[in-house]
Structure 1
Amino acid sequence: MVGPPGRTGVSRRMIVTAGWNLEVDDPSRIHGAETAARLAGLTAGLAARDVAACELAAVELATNLTRYADAGRLLINAFGPEPGMVQLVAVDKGPGIGDVGASMVDGYSTTGDSLGAGLGACRRIAAVFDLYSLPGQGTAVLVQIGRVDAAEPAVRVGGVVTPHPAETAIGDGWGAVRSGDLLTLAVVDGLGHGVKAADARHVALETVRRRPDAEPQGMLDELDAALRGTRGAAGAVAQVDTRSGGMRFGGVGNLTARLHRGPRVDVLVSRPGILGMGKRPRSYERGPVPWTDPGMLVVSTDGVGGWDLGRYPGVERRHPAIAAALIWRDAWRGTDDATVVVASRSPARGTA
């Protein structure tokens, strides 16, 4: 289905193609982080200069995790073919940063045992940089390198995806397609994990990439047809009309979606079923839901447990990928592929 007249325009797509989840608890892990960042840059099709920047960011973030963090992890995602970008997010449950502004200055160190140039260097080489920290509750640092839209969109989207701990292939994924006033966001979870789940994820996201104007009902119908012959998947599609301020949502399978609008939280129900297996409800769309106030849409797969945005005061002013990474940090089950995606209409600006 094609959207109403006047909504055509240049289409921009952001599709996850690969992911790494690296525990960084010892200096011996830094080289592995650098290697993963290089692979991510190559997977995203980045130029050599940007691949080198990915490696540098990984080294700096991993070094900080080994020195200051507790339960530190580096989450890396490659996006492509558009915009062709690598995202690195360092998350930890350490002491936090007491003075975020000072931490951006070369030579700053919370312990006095290093040059402390890591975060300043990351900020200089990043197309997008953001940081969230609470004393005693840890830190999340976001670095994006590559092709990132210069214009600030009406709705920002960010997320993290990690593979099953025993796999390298990633069975979860998400994609966002912008076309005129429409933003279509899809989250998919290939059944099981490993290569066959990754094949289903790839088919689903390629279908989304080709159909920037499809409404949730139509998109889920297309996903159901495209996924036949694969293992199948759970999936959710949200479409925001930035002109009218309305959002439509549809979901099939075991995903969690909530729309936060100030103190109000709407649970967006994903219907039981499996896309690609003929096991789905006849109707699974809700909307339009008004979403003109600042707020956040959060969608997660079943590799993530329960979460509460109230644990992160002020996170709505940060890049949505920061909120996604914090939820992942605190709710990751550690037994499956895992995805958290956040879309934000907040007019506030972070440090990105």
Structure 2
Amino acid sequence: MSLTTHIRVDHYSAVQLAASAARRTALAAGLTGPLPDRAAVLASELASNVARYALHGSLYVQPLPLRRGVEVLAVDRGPGMADAEQCLTDGYTTGGSLGSGLGAVRRIADQFAIRTKEGTGTLVCARLGEPGDTSPDRAPAVGAVRVPADGEVSCGDSWGVAVTEGAQTAMVVDGLGHGDPAAEAAELAVRTFHRDPGQPLPELMRAMNRALRHSRGAAVALLRRTRDTMEATSVGNVRSLLVAPGGVRQRFGGQPGVVGWNMPEPRVQRVPAQPGIISLLHSDGIDTRWADAPSAFLTALPAPLLAAALVHEHRRSRDDATVLTLGPPRRDA
């Protein structure tokens, strides 16, 4: 699973860095023709907007979660927008520019979402994929951000999502420690997950336990949603929650232990399915206190923007951090 490229937009020089990262990511994802250059334009326009108008902003650039393409997420703690739709209109500007930034992003992207609040900031998700290469109709809206600890090149966290008949299954894994050994354990867990993701959650966990016996070991959380139920199991300190507008609806408890070393018999927790719920998993690189009293703005975000917001606002920079969110089948917003 590819890493997220995190670019702090604390100077206008970050605009070129963002454009280069988006073009490189698009090429690595297999986008063809003019699409890598269009991805660079998305990142350039979003970074320019953050540099010009916002504070404490960042771009997160990465491959799309479930299909071939690139995703650019922009998050800031700026003044927000009084009228987002007006700001998306070509020619509108409050900063003396040509005013084509956000409007151009919405035109170029094949998926676009924006949420803003005055005094809080703005979040934007722009996605660009290869035409005709689409995710399954029953696929959930997926958000995922995976960043290494500051100063690290490899990341000991990873994630996986699988859509099987009648179910959507998600996992987040946190390899013990940092660096290459942790990353190797995490990637081994992801490969094991994808071999047969439709099997019962305890069997998936046991398969990963066997696969990781000669590795560093890991914390793992699995969460599955079907039409009627949500079920989860976890070992170690990866968190699993259900989030809806208005707050956290459910926190699933984890079991102590290490997958690959001393894993207990997996215990599955089940709750009835509810409409409008986002399933959320995150490693301990995210401060768990975010869920104690989250704002209504945060919990109402769509899945991709919720993942970006949690990493941007609640990440522990000395640790690897991964957030994975699954919403209902996507609607462009």
TM-score (norm 2): 0.90
Equivalent pair of 1:253/1:274 in contact (CA under 8 Å)? yes
Equivalent position amino acid for 2:12 in 1: P
Corresponding position of 2:126: 143
Q: Which of 193, 198, 210 is the equivalent residue of 2:195? A: 210
Aligned to 2:88: 104
Aligned to 1:4: none
Deviation at 1:290, TM superposition (A): 0.6
Deviation of 1:350 after TM superposition, in Å, equals: 5.3
* Structure 2 residue 243 is matched with structure 1 residue 260: yes
Cα deviation 1:1-22 (Å, max 9, x = unaligned): xxxxxxxxxxxxxxx4222111
User: Counterpart amino acid of 2:146?
Assistant: V
* Distance change >3 Å, CA 153–CA 136, structure 1 → 2: farther
Contact 1:20/1:163 (<8 A) preserved: no
Kept after mapping to 2: 8 A contact 1:174/1:185: yes
**Whole-angstrom CA distance in 2 between matches of 1:45 and 1:273:** 39
What aligned pairs does 1:104-253 form with structure 2 within 5 A after superposition? 104-109=88-93, 111-147=94-130, 149=134, 153=138, 155-242=140-227, 245-253=228-236
Deviation at 1:344, TM superposition (A): 2.3
Residues 80, 116 of structure 2: 8 Å contact kept: yes
8 Å Cα contact 2:140-2:330 kept in structure 1: no
Task: Give the secondary-structure state (helix, strand or coil) at the position aligned to 1:313.
Answer: helix
- Which residue does the alignment assign to 1:6? none
**2:269 aligned residue (277, 283, 286):** 286
Task: Report the AA paired with residue 235 of structure 2.
Answer: V
Is the contact made by 2:221 and 2:233 (CA closer than 8 Å) also made in structure 1?
Answer: yes
1:95–1:138: 8 Å Cα contact kept in structure 2? yes
8 A Cα contact 2:47 2:59, kept in partner: yes
Gaps of at least 5 residues in structure 2 are: none
Which of residues 93, 99, 114 is equivalent to 2:77?
93
The 3 A distance-change label for structure 1 pair 190 and 85 is farther
Give the conservation status (yes or no) of the 8 Å contact 1:92–1:138. yes
CA contact (8 A) 1:21 1:163 kept: no
- What is the rounded CA distance, in whole Å, between the counterparts of 1:133 and 1:160 in structure 2? 20
Shift of 1:314: 7.7
Runs of 4+ with >6 A deviation = none
The CA distance in 1 between the partners of 2:137 and 2:118, in whole Å, is: 30
Which runs of 5 or more residues in structure 1 are unaligned? 1-15
Would you say how many aligned residue pairs link Structure 1 and Structure 2?
Answer: 328
What secondary structure, in the 3-state scheme, does the structure 1 residue paired with 2:258 have? coil
Q: Is the deviation greater in 141-150 or in 71-80?
A: 141-150
Q: Using structure 1 for the length normalisation, give the TM-score.
A: 0.86
1:333 and 1:91 map into 2 onto residues whose CA distance is 17
AA partner of residue 226 (structure 2): D
Superposed CA deviations along residues 141-182 of structure 1, whole A, max 9, x for unmatched, are: 001222563676474322222121112222222221111211
Find the aligned partners of 1:349 and 1:135 in 2 and give their Cα distance: 25
Deviating more after overlay: 137-146 vs 203-212: 203-212
Give the CA deviation at 1:315: 5.1
- Match of 2:55, as an amino acid? D
Q: C-alpha offsets along residues 8-46 of structure 1, whole Å, 9 cap, x if unaligned?
A: xxxxxxxx4222111111011222212222232233222
Contact 1:132 1:315 in 2 (8 A): no
Relative to structure 1, is the Cα distance of residues 171 and 86 closer, same or farther in structure 2, using a 3 angstrom cutoff?
farther
Identity over the aligned pairs, expressed in percent? 34
1:249 offset after TM fit, Å? 0.6
Shift of 1:119: 1.3
Q: Deviations over 1:36-76 (max 9, x none)?
A: 22232233222243222221111111111111111101112
Return the match for 1:337 from 308, 317, 320: 320
CA contact (8 A) 2:148 2:319 kept: yes
Q: Give me the CA root mean square deviation.
A: 2.3
Counterpart AA for 2:267: Y
